Structure 1
């Protein structure tokens, strides 16, 4: 151990980060790791911008020393860099019990972020659907060290069957657990009203307040984040259980490139929806994201229940592109473009295939 300590100290002193990481990995495989080896390896991984690699070394430390004043700041910054905000709040709470750390790391603000976005969605078949108008406001805050996110949304659209207005309220809470596990329960309440222009057999379909409840379990492990979500909904009086596994891969051990693959199994329909997303962050000021979704069904949910597809017409395919610009620290502006193909199959109308395009402009302020 003494020789290994001397070698890693010399590599650390001379900023030989890659050699230090190789030495540390070999030692860990041989079960010869120790406190300072993991500290030096974590600093080395951070120095070459590999936060997801850094996480594993820090876990080795916190497993034995959860309140260690030397590693806690490293853990805290790493959790922020890897998107583990719930764990970062928990670590920040621990840091407040150390008078020395309090001087440099204040308690996180109660409000984490504010956001607002609006969208415009025209259809290729204007005789069936007029443009849809959409708006959403979001608030992220904490209760003690538990992060909460809530959003309110409004949309309206004129169509062949009437004029529709919809109001939505969404809330989730992320609960952190040891070893980078999180559990995020979610609730989404909707209310829509349709001023009808055609005859329907059941007038109750013109007004409804469906709900969605569920939770997502996530685990960060090396360069991967695994997610497993289960959701129940009764959109448009159709009860459904949706099971949603997904995985994020960080191939460079940082946020430069993020690859996501997801599936959504709708139990009652025995139907699987698949999607893939790639995110590229070339510089700190700019981010690009693109995704493809194959559904061929209706009434499905995404993004831990935040996005609800409750249109009666099935969505066949969807393409989405997003550009985010960070003009200042803690500020972001994003633009989203969406193209989807849909099918109308409603008596007495013939089967009609059409497409929608949507543009969204949003702004977010973090604290």
Structure 2
């Protein structure tokens, strides 16, 4: 009995010893090359990772593992392997091209652009990332229209109502992109917004009238690729607001008299800064804005995290938290907003991004690297919608639509007593961009 137990234990021990891989350069090189020839990418990755854990790592293993991850479309995991290969043999055009596309398919376009500077003329001509000699490398335009509920407060004929109700708002913008021959890029946009509000007030010669609102905006954003996967951004958004209200009356003889009720012009500035870092399957971003909008001072830090579970941009999830400190008339208040977003590619060249913003009610909300400023006189409660992107002509043209629905709270008074009313705003944005 004891001899049988001893024999069985000895057999198990011998089998376990025989089944253990022996990791040395010769064995790993031969087996990884065989798995590479067989295109057994999953087994190659498993074997290669075990080899690295056993301190057997060399140039060709890195090359083969990079290709294995790339063939499985796990581009973010392929990047560090190809980076190591290119660092050792920068003249290898094939490795450079692999790394270039791994960057592009991971959403790291600035890394791809900087890498392209080291390409040979033939490889540059093949990939045609952008024209280094062009001053303008991208141009785009977009238009947005809004649809509002009729949220005028219900009153009696004898009530004194003080309320401003947004009636319409339309937005037009044109933007330019400049890519330098170094690690800098510049994006800027010129925008025009036009709308009108219905005003109900006892403080003027008429109790009901329309005010016209015109905004001229200029936005500029500087991006510096400080290191691989690391970007530093600085931005500025200037807003020139013009509000004007007139009362027009007509005489019995067809004449027309216009009386200016009020007119005002204000200038507002928003400063923005951000640092972002790509780490494996994650993108982390820390940002902050400082602004003086609607006679108030806002400081708004935020932190975002994006996750790419399949190591590519076919599916991703993101969240971003905003916290706003506001000073108005020597009174400090704070508000928060949380954004959740996901992106997926249902078919080639088409991306859908559902999103939602949810907070405790916030004024003068700044987001999208300070490109979007919600400076409505009403409080933003939440916002949800979807971004739809269609990429054409090998990435040189993008057509997009943004569908949104927002909930706002409007404050009004009847006979001196203040009340709140919630309403819905729906909007459609359409845009197109060309890259060259």
Same fold (TM over 0.5): yes
Aligned with 2:147 (options 78, 98, 122): 122
SS in 2 for 1:108: coil
**Pairing 1:82-121 to 2, within 5 Å after superposition:** 82-95=106-119, 98=120, 101=123, 104=126, 108-109=130-131, 110=134, 111-121=136-146
Alignment-derived partner of residue 358 in structure 1: 427
- Is the CA contact (8 Å cut-off) linking 2:138 and 2:434 kept in structure 1? yes
User: Taking structure 1 as reference, are residues 165 and 66 closer, same or farther at Cα in structure 2, changes over 3 Å only?
Assistant: farther
Cα distance in 2 for residues equivalent to 1:155 and 1:287: 28
Task: Name the stretch that deviates more: 182-191 or 324-333.
Answer: 324-333
**Where does structure 2 lack aligned partners over 5 or more consecutive residues?**
1-24, 153-164, 200-210, 248-261, 327-332
Q: CA offset at residue 143 of structure 1?
A: 2.0
Q: CA offset at residue 26 of structure 1?
A: 2.3
Cα distance in 2 for residues equivalent to 1:178 and 1:327: 30
Cα distance in 2 for residues equivalent to 1:179 and 1:197: 56
Higher strand residue share: 2
- Is the CA contact (8 Å cut-off) linking 2:106 and 2:311 kept in structure 1? no
| 1:165 has 2:187 as partner | no
Task: Name the stretch that deviates more: 208-217 or 80-89.
Answer: 80-89
Q: CA offset at residue 178 of structure 1?
A: 2.5
Task: Name the stretch that deviates more: 165-174 or 322-331.
Answer: 322-331
Alignment-derived partner of residue 132 in structure 1: 169
Alignment-derived partner of residue 310 in structure 1: 375
Cα distance in 1 for residues equivalent to 2:272 and 2:243: 27
Task: Name the stretch that deviates more: 66-75 or 151-160.
Answer: 66-75
SS in 2 for 1:129: strand
- Is the CA contact (8 Å cut-off) linking 1:69 and 1:101 kept in structure 2? no
C-alpha distance after superposition, 1:9-31 (max 9, x if no partner): 11112211111122222233344
Aligned with 1:186 (options 226, 235, 240): 235
User: Taking structure 1 as reference, are residues 315 and 20 closer, same or farther at Cα in structure 2, changes over 3 Å only?
Assistant: same
Cα distance in 2 for residues equivalent to 1:6 and 1:218: 40
Cα distance in 2 for residues equivalent to 1:177 and 1:285: 30
Alignment-derived partner of residue 17 in structure 1: 41
**Pairing 1:1-367 to 2, within 5 Å after superposition:** 1-61=25-85, 64-65=87-88, 67-70=90-93, 71-95=95-119, 98=120, 101=123, 104=126, 108-109=130-131, 110=134, 111-125=136-150, 128-145=165-182, 146-161=184-199, 162-196=211-245, 206-268=264-326, 269-295=333-359, 296-326=361-391, 328-329=393-394, 330-347=396-413, 350-367=419-436
- Is the CA contact (8 Å cut-off) linking 1:320 and 1:336 kept in structure 2? yes
C-alpha distance after superposition, 1:145-190 (max 9, x if no partner): 3222111111111003421111111111221132411111111111
Q: CA offset at residue 5 of structure 1?
A: 1.6
C-alpha distance after superposition, 1:271-295 (max 9, x if no partner): 2210101111121132211111013
C-alpha distance after superposition, 1:321-346 (max 9, x if no partner): 22223454333322221111101124
User: Taking structure 1 as reference, are residues 338 and 58 closer, same or farther at Cα in structure 2, changes over 3 Å only?
Assistant: same
- Is the CA contact (8 Å cut-off) linking 1:160 and 1:197 kept in structure 2? no
Cα distance in 2 for residues equivalent to 1:13 and 1:341: 58
User: What is the TM-score of this pair, normalised by structure 2?
Assistant: 0.76
- Is the CA contact (8 Å cut-off) linking 2:151 and 2:421 kept in structure 1? no
User: Taking structure 1 as reference, are residues 27 and 338 closer, same or farther at Cα in structure 2, changes over 3 Å only?
Assistant: same
